[in-house]
Amino acid sequence: MERRNFLSHAAYGIAGVAALQLLQRDEASRAGEPNGSSHPASAKHVIHIYLGGGLSQVDSFDYKPDLERFHDQELPAEFGTAQPFMGKAGRLHRSHYAFKRRGDSGLWISDLFPELCNVADELTVLNSMVAETANHTPGSFQANTGFRQMGFPAMGSWLSYGLGNENDNLPSFVVLPDERGIPNPVGGSFSWSNGFLPPQHQGVPFNTKGGPPILDLQPASGLNAAGQRERLELLGQLNSMHLKSQAHTEALTARIESYELAARMQSAIPEAMDFASEPQHIRDLYGLDRNECRGTASNCLAARRLIERGVRMVQLWTGDGISWDAHEDITGKGYKSHTGEALRIDRPIAGLIRDLRQRNLLDSTLVMITTEFGRTPYAQAASGKLSKGRDHHPEGFTNILAGGGLKPGMAFGATDPIGYAAIERPMTIHDMHATILYLLGIDHERLTFYHNGIQRRLTNVHGQVMKELIA
Amino acid sequence: MAKSSLQKQLLFCVFSVVAAASNRVLADPPGQDSFDQHVAPLLASRCLSCHNAIDKKGGLNLSDEASARLGGDNGTAIASQASEASDESLLWEKIDTDEMPPQQPLSGEEKEVVRRWISDGAQWGTDPIDPFRFSTAGRAGYDWWSLQPITQPDLPWVDNTDWVQNEIDRFVLAKLEAAKLAPAVHADSRTLLRRLYVDLIGLPPVLKTVDGTWKEELLDIEIEPNSLQFYGASYNGVVDALLESHYYGERWGRHWLDVIRFGESQGYERNRVRPNLWRYRDWVIESLNQDMPYDEFLRLQIAGDVLKPDDLEALIATGYLVCGPYDMVGYEMGSAAMKNAVRQDELEDLVATLGQSMLGLTINCARCHDHKFDPISQREYYQIAALLGGVNQAVEERQSIALTSADNTAFDGVAHVIIPEQPPAFHVLIRGNSNDLGDEVSPRGLQALSIAGLSSDFGMDSETPEAERRVALAKWITDPRNPLTARVIVNRLWHYHFGQGIVDSPSDFGFSGGRPSHPQLLDWLARKFIDGGWKLKDLHRLIVTSATYRQASNIHNEAAQQKDVDNRLLWRANSRRLDGESTRDAMLTVSGALNPRLGGPSYFDVEAKLEYDHDFGPPTSEFNEAVNRRTIYRLWARCGNNPLLESLDCADPSVMLPRRSQTITPVQSLSLLNNRFIEQCAERLAERVRQEAGGNIDDQIGALYGLTLLRNPNMDELELARKFVHSQTLTQLCVVMLNTNEFLFFE
C-alpha cells in the first residue's frame, strides 16, 4: 500500500523525477513484473498545437466530393439526424476551399492551408476522430485530459509524471498561450492542470506577450544580480547550518537543491526564449517577421528551442481556446473564421515541421495539431437555408499528427461520404492518447496514479493503440 | 508502481484466503454453508465477471442455481445434484485444463475447492450468489474491515506505563513495543508551541517579552516558554486557548473545504462567480468554532433546510450541495441527450463528494457498472443518486435565496443554497449511458452498511418527496450504527494532526484505500467520539495532550528507521512543510500585516473579468487591509488560481483533496524568493523589526529571529546576517528568513 502513490509519498521529489524511472527501479527489485514502459520509445518529445473551437474537417483535411453533389440539400436521412448544438440545422454546404492531392503521398488537403500542403508527406491525418460532447469546455477538457469533467491531469502532466524531464533547469511541461491571451473560455489554466498529480507536473504557462517569460523569474523589487547571488548564498548557508542539526533531511535537502535549480532556471528560461541566435532564414521559415503570423511563429520557434533543450512537452494555443468556432462565416477574415485563423498558423506550423526535419528532430518529436470536435457538414442556418457558418460536430472530425515514429503521408480512418459520422476505424480521444503514449514508450494501461479510490489513467478505462499508424 | 505493491498484497491475501478455505473445506461437511463460504466467493471473484446474468459469455450464467445447472452453449456445466462425478463435469474440465478462467487459471488449492464441491454433489447455497458477501483477493465484500460495526476495544497492556498520558498512548505504545521500538523523547517547548499553533490554528505564535513575562500576541496569552515540555496546566492552557480562538475554525474549515472541492465559481465555460457562497464557508468556520456536534454538522449540510426550516444558518449549510462544478452551457444548449449527459455527470460529482467526504466510500465508481473493488452495485449508485435527486445546480445558479431572519435583526442578504426540485424517477443507466434506461430504482441506502442493523431500506419510492429523501440520507449517514462516518472523521483529524492518517487514504476506506495501521485505536477513538456526542474539540484535545503527539521529530533511531521508515507506528513526530495557506498566513502574521477580521465576502487576489463569461488572470499583487486576510477568505474560483499558492500545493477547487501533496519545485522556490507578496511582507517585517528593536543592527537581527523562528540567532548566524545587512538591506534579510527551511517547516 505504501507505494500506491509513491510520488506523493516521496512527497519531496523535485521536478524532473520521472515516475517511470522510479517505477523501473522499484519494479526491477520485484520478480516477474515487467516495466511500465513496455517497449522502446520512438518519440521523446511532444509539441501540441491546439486549435480550440472546432476545426471544420470538410473544409480542411477530409475531402468529400459528394458534398458538391449534395450541396444546398437537406441532410439525407441515411446519414443520421442533425443534432445541432445551437439549434439550427441548415442545408448541406460543400467545402469552402478547393481540395487537391498534395505531395508524393497524394494526401487530400484544402487550400485553407497552402503551406501545410507543402509538408503533406510528413503528416499523419486522423480522419475518423469522434468526441463525446459538442460543448467547447468539456470537449476541450477531453481533448487535453481524456475526461469531459474538470479535475483531471492534462496529457502533458501525465508525460511529465511518466517520463520526467531531460533538463532540470526548465519545466517539463511548458504552455505557450496565444499572444491574444490565455484560453479562458475553455477553462483557462485548467487545460494544463496537473489535476490530482503532484503539482510539479503542472504545465507552466510562459508569458508570450512580451516581458519576463514566467512569473517571479526575477525579484519584484528589481534586486540586481549581485544582490540575488548574495541572498542565495546566505540562504544556502543558513539552511546548511540548520540541516546539520536535523535527523531527517530528505525534504530539507530537496529544498536547498531547488533554490540552486531555481537560479539556473533564471538563466535557462530566458536563454531558451531568446531568438537572437536564430539566423534570418530560420526566421523566414517560421514567418517570424510577417505580421499575419508573428505570434504563432514565435511560439513555434520557441517550442522547437524548448524541446531541443529537453522539455518533454510544449503546448501551443492558437487563439483564445474557441477562435476556430466559425458559427457565422468560415471564410471570414476575423475572429472565429477559418481563413483568418489559418493565416496565423499555416506558415509557422509548416516551418516548424520542416525545421524539425532538417535538424533530425522530427522522428523523435511528435507534433500534434488537434481540435476538440469538428463542424457540421450542414450550414448553421434556418431549416432549408444555407449560410457560411457551421455548428459544433463531435461525430466525425480530423486531427493531424506528424513525426514521432508515425507512418507519414497517410490518412487514417474515414467519415461517411458527406463527412458527417466516422464510419471506418472510428478513433476516440482515448485511442489517440493511447497511441501517443505508445509512441513515447508508455503502455497507457500502466501509467497510473491512485486518486480517491481508483488507479487513474489518461485513457480512463478505454483506449486502443492504433498500430497501423506506427512506422 | 502502485501495481507492484497491490500485487504483493494480493498474493498475501490469496494465500491467506485459500489457506483458510482449504483447511475448512476438509473439515466441513458439504452443504449450503460450505458453498457460501468457499465456492460462491470463488465463482464470484473468478467466473462471474463474464458468466453473469447480463454478459452470459458462452451462454453460461453461473450467478444463480437454475441458470448454472442449465449450462451454456457447450452443454451442461454442472451436473444436477450428486448424480455425476467431477470428471464428467464440463465446468471442472475447463478449470482443470486451465482453459478457464482464460487470463489466470485457478491455483491448485482453488481447483481443489471446486473439485470437492462437484464431487460432493455440487450443492448450491444462497441463491443467486451475492458476489459482495465475502471479500476476495481482488475486492472487498460485506465483511470488509471498515464496514464492520465499530468495536469497543480493550486498552492494550504496555510495559512502559510511565510514558503513557492517555489511552491513545497505550494503543500506540503497544504496537511500538511489539515491534521492539521505543517512542521518541518529548519535543522541546519551542517546537511544541509552534507545532500546536500551526496545527490547531494554522498560524505561528508571535512571542514578546514584556517586563520579564512572555506574551503570545495572537491569542494575547501569557506563556512561560520553558514550561510546555511538561505535562500540566501550562500546556493544557495553551491548547484550550487555541481551541477557543476563532482562528481554529479558519484553519480546520479549510481542511473540510479541501475534502469537498469547494469552489466559488461554476467552472467550465461560463465559470460565473458565486458571490454569495462565502456564507457557506463562514458557516463551516463558525460551526467548527462553536464545536457543533459533527453529526449535526453533516445533517445540516445535507438537509438543513428541511430539518430546521426557520433557521437561516441551517439553510446556508446546504451550500455543501451546490458548491461543485456546474456546466451552464451544457445545461442550456445542445441536444436533449447532451443535457441529460451533463446532468448525469453532475450527479456523479455530487455522489462522489458525498460518499468520499462523509463515508470514505467511492460510490461514484459504480455509475457504469458494479464497483470493481467495493461491495456497491450499480443499482445502488442510482439509488443514492435518487436520494440526492432534488439537488440541481441549474436551479441554484439561476437564483439565490434572499435571506431575512424571522425577527428581522442581524440578517439580510442573499445566499447560494439548495433550491430543491422534485426529481423524476431514477433508473439504472446501462453502462452509465444516460440514454439507455434500465430498471427503475427507489431512493435507498447501501446494503454494505447494514451489518450493525442499520437498514438501507427507507421505505421510499419514486414518488417520495425529495425533502424526505435528504432527511433520510442525513439520518442514515449520522446514525451511530453507521460504521464509516465516525471512523472517517476521526481518521481525518488524525491525518491532519500527524501528517498521516491511521488509514492513509482519508476519503477511501474501501479495497483500493489503505489499511489501518492501528485498527483498534481507530475504533476506540470512533467509539469515544460517538459516545461523547460527536465533539471534535474533545477529540483534538485528546490527541494533542497525548504523549504520542508530543514526541520530537528530530530523532535518530536506527532500529526504527530500519523497521518502519514511513513512521506508520509513530516512533516520532513528522516534520512537515507549512501548507500554502499557512505559509502565506504565517508571513502576514510575523510581519504584522495580517488583518484578522473574521468572515465576510471573499477577497479577489487575481484579476477578474466578470462579464458574460467570468475570466481570471494574473495576480493583482495588492497588499492592503482588504486582501491581507487569512488565505481561506480569498475567492476560491475554479481556474482562478493564485500561482504562488498553487506552487505551494493549495487545493484546486475542482479536485477533492483529502490529502495534500508537499512538493518542492524550482518554480516554487522562484516564487518564494521573488514574488511581490513576499517582498511586501518582507518590507513590513523589516519595518516592524526596526520599530521594535530600534536602530542597532544586532538588535534588529535578534528581533527578526524571535519573530520568525522563536529563538535568538547563534554567533555564526548573527555574523552572517550582519554582513548581509551591511552589503544589502534589512528587507532582503527578511526575504531570506521567510525562505529558510526552519521557517517553512514545523516539526
**Cα of B82 vs its chain's centroid, Å:** 52
Q: In which element (H, E) is residue B329 found?
A: helix B328-332
Burial A207-240 (b: 16+ CB within 10 A, else e): bbeeeebbbbbbbbbebeeebbebbbebbeebbe
Q: Would you say B42 and B117 are in contact if contact means Cβ atoms under 8 Å apart?
A: no
Q: Which residue is closest to B717 within chain A, CA to CA?
A: A238
Question: Which amino acid, residue B16?
Answer: S
Band of pLDDT at residue B3, cut at 50, 70 and 90? very low
- The closest CB to that of A137, out of B327, B374, B655, belongs to B327
Give the whole-number percent of chain B exceeding pLDDT 70: 93
- Per CB-CB distance under 8 Å, the chain A contacts of B4 are 3, 26-27, 30, 33
For residue A397, pLDDT over 70 is answered with yes
Residue of A nearest to B500 (CA): A9
Nearest CA in chain B to A205: B643
Q: Does residue B609 have a pLDDT over 60?
A: yes
* Interface touch B617/A182, C-beta < 8 Å: yes
Count CB atoms within 10 A of the CB of residue A185.
24
The distance of B665 to chain A (nearest Cα, Å) reads 5
> Which one-letter amino acid corresponds to residue A144?
N
How confident is the model at residue B661, as a pLDDT?
A: 85
Shortest Cα–Cα distance, A262 to chain B (Å):
5
Q: What is the pLDDT of residues B509-537, one digit of tens each?
A: 999 999 999 999 999 999 999 999 999 99
Quickly count: other Cβ atoms within 10 Å of residue A354's Cβ: 17
User: Is A9 an 8 Å CB contact of chain B?
Assistant: yes
Instruction: Give mean pLDDT, residues A314-341.
Output: 93
| A22–B2 C-beta distance less than 8 A | no
Between A4, A184, A245, which is nearest B613 by CB? A184
Q: How confident is the model at residue A210, as a pLDDT?
A: 82
Q: Does A81 touch chain B (CB under 8 A)?
A: no
CB contact under 8 A, A238 and B5: no
- Residue type for position B525: L
Q: How far is A297 from chain B (nearest CA, A)?
A: 24
pLDDT of residue B348: 96
CB-nearest partner of B736 from A87, A202, A235: A235
The pLDDT of residue B80: 57
Per-residue model confidence (pLDDT) at position A10: 35
Alpha-carbon distance A283 to nearest alpha carbon in chain B (angstroms)? 30
Alpha carbon distance B225, B246 (integer Å): 23
Mutate which of B659, B663, B704, B735 to test chain A, going by most A C-beta atoms within 10 A? B663
Window 193-252 of A, Cβ < 8 Å to B: 193, 195-196, 198-200, 202, 204, 214-221, 223, 227, 230-232, 234-235, 237-239, 241-243, 245-248, 251-252
The pLDDT-based confidence of A40 (bands split at 50, 70, 90) is: confident
- Please give, rounded to a whole number of angstroms, the shortest distance from the CA of B368 to a CA of chain A: 11
Identify all chain A residues contacting B673, using CB atoms and an 8 Å cutoff: 216, 219, 231-232, 259, 262
Cα–Cα–Cα angle for A85, A87, A88, rounded to 5 degrees: 110
Model pLDDT for residues A4-21, shown as the tens digit of each residue: 333 333 333 343 444 444
CB-CB under 8 Å, B2 with A450: yes
Option in B566, B652, B667 nearest A171 (CB) = B667
- Across the interface, of B365, B664, B721, the residue whose CB is closest to A14 is B664
pLDDT-based confidence at residue A3 (cuts at 50, 70, 90): very low
**3-class secondary structure per residue, B682-699:** HHHHHHHHHHHHCCCHHH
Which positions in chain A touch B566 (Cβ < 8 Å)?
2, 9
ipTM of the complex: 0.89
Which residues of A are less than 8 Å from B644 in CB distance? 216
User: pLDDT category, A396, cuts 50, 70, 90?
Assistant: very high
Q: Chain A partners of B670 at a C-beta cutoff of 8 Å?
A: 214, 216-217, 262, 265-266
Are A234 and B724 a contacting pair at CB < 8 A? yes
Q: Quote the minimal CA–CA distance from A118 to chain B in Å.
A: 36
The residues that bridge with B215 in the sheet, in sequence order, are B208, B222
In chain A, what is the straight-line distance between the N-terminal and C-terminal CA atoms, in Å? 39
> CB-CB: which of A199, A204, A238 is closest to B740?
A238
By the 8 A CB rule, do B662 and B641 touch? Answer: no
Distance CA A193, CA A298 (A): 24
* Closest chain B CA to residue A188: B639
Element counts in chain B: helices (H) and strands (E) = 30, 11
Contacts of B641 in chain A (CB under 8 A): 189
- Which letter, b or e, does each residue of A113-148 get, where b requires 16 or more Cβ atoms within 10 Å of its Cβ? bbbbbbbbebbbbbbbbbbbbbbbbbbbbbbbbbbb
Are B732 and A200 an interchain contact pair (Cβ–Cβ within 8 Å)? Answer: no
Q: How far is A195 from chain B (nearest CA, A)?
A: 7
Compare all CA atoms of chain B with the CA of A82 and give the residue at the minimum distance.
B335
pLDDT value of residue B46 = 83
pLDDT given at position B17: 35
For A244-338, list the strands marked E by DSSP: 313-317
Nearest residue of chain A to residue B515 (CA atoms): A1
Residue A28 has pLDDT above 90, yes or no: no
Q: How much is the pLDDT for A259?
A: 95
Q: What is the pLDDT of residue A29?
A: 33
pLDDT of residue A200: 83
What is residue B2's predicted lDDT score, i.e. its pLDDT? Answer: 39
Q: Is the peptide bond before B443 cis (omega within 30 degrees of 0)?
A: no
Residues in A closer than 8 angstroms to B512, CB to CB, are: 450, 453-455
Asked if A142 is an interface residue toward chain B (Cβ–Cβ < 8 A), one would say no
> Looking at residues A157-173, what average pLDDT do you find?
91
pLDDT in tens, B246-294: 999 999 999 999 999 999 999 998 999 999 999 999 999 999 999 999 9
Buried-state track A2-22, b at ≥16 Cβ within 10 A, e below 16: ebbbbbbbebbbbbbbbbbeb
Partners of A15 on chain B (C-beta within 8 Å) are 665-667
The predicted pLDDT at position A23 comes to 40
Reported as a pLDDT band with limits 50, 70 and 90, residue A38 is low
pLDDT of B468 reads 98
Cell numbers for B13: 491475501
pLDDT value for B10: 34
A144 close to A441: Cβ distance less than 8 angstroms: no
B303-358 pLDDT, tens digit per residue, is 999 999 989 999 999 999 999 999 999 888 888 888 899 999 999 999 999 999 99
Strand partners, A451: A454
pLDDT per residue as tens digits for the range A398-451: 999 999 999 999 999 999 999 999 999 999 999 999 999 999 999 999 999 988
- Whether A101 shows a pLDDT value over 60: the answer reads yes
Mutate to test the interface with B, among A4, A243, A267, A455 (most CBs of B within 10 A): A4
Q: Nearest CA to CA, how far is A99 from chain B (Å)? A: 31
Strands A374-379 and A390-393: antiparallel
- H helices present in B333-416, as ranges: 336-354, 378-387, 393-398
> pLDDT per residue over B23-64, tens digit each?
333 444 456 778 888 888 888 878 887 888 877 888 999 888
pLDDT on residue A262? 93
- Return the closest-CA partner of residue A403 out of A348, A470, A341, A344: A470
Residue appearing with cell numbers 487576489: B605
Q: What is the pLDDT of residue B31?
A: 66
Is pLDDT at B731 greater than 90 in this prediction? yes
Judged by CB atoms closer than 8 Å, whether chains meet at A4 and B505 is answered as yes
CA distances A33 to A158, A161, A444, A465, Å, are 22, 20, 16, 21
pLDDT band at A37 (very low <50, low <70, confident <90, very high): low
Q: Give tens-digit pLDDT for B469-508.
A: 999 999 999 999 999 999 999 999 999 999 999 999 999 9
Task: Calculate mean pLDDT across residues A308-316.
Answer: 96
Task: Give the pLDDT confidence score for residue B123 in this predicted structure.
Answer: 86
Please give, rounded to a whole number of angstroms, the shortest distance from the CA of A251 to a CA of chain B.
8
Confidence (pLDDT) at B410:
54
Q: What is the pLDDT of residue A33?
A: 31
Average pLDDT in the A121-132 region? 97
| CB of A359 less than 8 A from some CB of B | no
Contact of A127 with A413, CB cutoff 8 Å: yes
| A235 vs B contacts (CB less than 8 Å) | 736, 739-740
Q: How many CB pairs under 8 A join A and B?
A: 288
Residue of A1, A149, A252 with shortest CB distance to B345:
A149
